[in-house]
Amino acid sequence: MCEQPCRGATNVGTYDVRPAHVQNPPSLTRSASLWFGTNASKDRRLTLAADAVAISLALAGSSALHTFWRAWQHSSSASTHLLFSRVIPMFAFGALSIALLIMARTVAHTTEARFPSAHRPRFGRKGTLICGLSILFILSCCYRAVFVADEGASLCRGRPTLFNAPVSGRAVATIGEGALVLQISCFLDDSARRLRVEHAWAGRWRFTLLPVCLAESFSWCGVLSGDSKFYCAEYVCWCALSITWAWDAAELLHHSTRWSDVLTHAAVCCAALALFAFNATVEIPHFFRYHPSDTHDAATVKRLSVLKCSQDVESALWLKRLPFFFSYFLVASWGSAALSYRYLRRGGLRRTDD
C-alpha cells in the first residue's frame, strides 16, 4: 500500500489502516473503559473480562428480580428474609463501590486536566485498581465497625443478627483483607518499577496471593470449627506478609530521593513492622490460649453457632480487643486511603498507554 495518495486520485477518504491486532477488538457491552480505565478497549483480554463482568451483573440482577417477584407473589417469608438480609444490602454496597470508582476516576482525570505536569505520570488503570481495592477494604471496615463482633469469640456488641454473625463478619473481612493485600502489593510493585528496584517481592504471587489465601483459609477453619489455634496459623501468614512488605518498603526507602517518597516508604515499612510485632506479641498469644469458655458460660458454649453471635456489651473482652479494632478499622482504613492518595499524586511508571 502506498504511504502517499496515488497520483490523480480524487475524493480520497480517510480509512483506519491500523493492523488488525491494533484495532479495538469487538465487545458485546462496550464497558471495558468503565471497568478498567482509559485504553482498556484496545486490549482483547480486558474487553472479554469486561463483558464477563457486565453479563455476570446482569444475571445477578435478574436473579434478584426473580427472588423479589417470588417473595411478592407467593408471600414467601424465606425469600423476603433473603432480600432484606442479603440481596438488597449486597446490591446497594455494590452500587456504592461502582459509584466511588467512577468518582475516583473522575477526580483523577479532572486533576490531571486542571493541573498538568510533565513530571507526574497519568493515573491510569493501575491507579483505578489501587483506588478500587482501597474502597473495598474501607467498605469492609465500615461494615464491621457498624456491626461490631469478634468472630473468634462469637460475641457481638449489638443485637444478634445475621449481619454480625461470625460467618458474615468473616465473609466481609475476607473480601476486605484480600483487597488490602492486593492494593499494597500493587503499590509496592509499581513503586519498585518506577524507582528501578529489582527483585521486589510484591510482584510475585507466592509472596502476596498465596499467603493471604492461606490466611483466609485458616481463618475460615477457625470460624467453622471453633478451634482458635487456626487463628494462630492465620496470623503467622500475616507475619510473613508483613515481612515482605517491610523488606520491599526498606528497599524502596533506600532508593528514594524525594522527601515524599522517603516519608511514604518509611511509613509503610514502620506499619509492616508494627503489624508483625502486634501479631507476634498480641494476636497469636491471645488465640493460642483462648477458649470459648473464657467469655461464655457452659450453656452458651453449647449454643454457639456460626450463624448467630452472643450479645454481651459489658464483656471484658472488648477492652482487651480494643487495640485490634482501633488499629484495624481506624488506622488501617485511613492508611489504605493514604496509599491511594499517594498513588494519585505520584503514580507509577510514566506510561503513555495507561
DSSP string, 166-220: HHHHHHHHHHHHHHHHHHHHHHHHHHHHHTT--S-GGG-GGGTHHHHHHHHHHHH
Q: Please provide the distance, in angstroms rounded to a whole number, between the alpha carbons at the two ends of the chain.
A: 31
pTM of the model: 0.72
| Cβ-contact 239, 280 below 8 angstroms | yes
For residue 179, what pLDDT is reported? 94
Q: Give every CB contact of residue 7 below 8 A, 6+ residues apart in sequence.
A: none
For residue 10, what pLDDT is reported? 39
| Cβ-contact 127, 109 below 8 angstroms | no
For residue 7, what pLDDT is reported? 42
CA distance to 5, 40, 167, per residue, from 44 (Å) = 32, 8, 38
How far apart are the C-alpha atoms of 323 and 196, rounded to whole Å?
Answer: 37
CA 55, 56, 62 angle in degrees (round to 5)?
A: 90
Rg of the chain over Cα atoms, rounded to whole angstroms, equals 25
For residue 352, what pLDDT is reported? 36
For residue 341, what pLDDT is reported? 80
For residue 14, what pLDDT is reported? 37
Q: Nearest Cα to 161, choosing from 325, 305, 307? A: 307
For residue 16, what pLDDT is reported? 40
Please report, for the chain, the start and end positions of each structural domain, with discontinuous segments joined by +. 29-91, 117-345
Residue numbers of the chain with a pLDDT score lower than 70: 1-24, 38, 85, 117-124, 294, 300, 302-303, 345-354
For residue 11, what pLDDT is reported? 41
Other Cβ atoms less than 10 A from the Cβ of 13: the count is: 4
Dig out the grid coordinates for 182 from the structure.
492486593
How far apart are the C-alpha atoms of 130 and 189, rounded to whole Å?
Answer: 12
Q: Nearest Cα to 251, choosing from 200, 303, 319? A: 200
Give me the residue label for grid cell 492461606: 214
List b or e across 114-127, with b for residues whose CB sees 16 or more CB atoms inside 10 angstroms: eeeeeeebbbbbbb
| Cβ-contact 180, 332 below 8 angstroms | yes
CA distance to 146, 149, 168, 251, 256, per residue, from 86 (Å) = 16, 18, 10, 44, 46
- CA 349 to chain centroid, in Å, comes to 22
For residue 240, what pLDDT is reported? 94
Supply the mean pLDDT for the chain: 81
How far apart are the C-alpha atoms of 239 and 351, rounded to whole Å?
Answer: 34
For residue 24, what pLDDT is reported? 65
Bridge partner residues of 305 (DSSP):
308
| CA torsion, ordered 95, 93, 186, 348, to nearest 10 deg | 40
Phi, psi of 133 (to 5 degrees): -65, -40
CA distance to 41, 48, 54, 351, per residue, from 25 (Å) = 7, 9, 17, 22
Given phi > 0 = left and psi -120 to 50 = alpha, else beta, which region is 196?
left
| SS3 state at 264 | helix
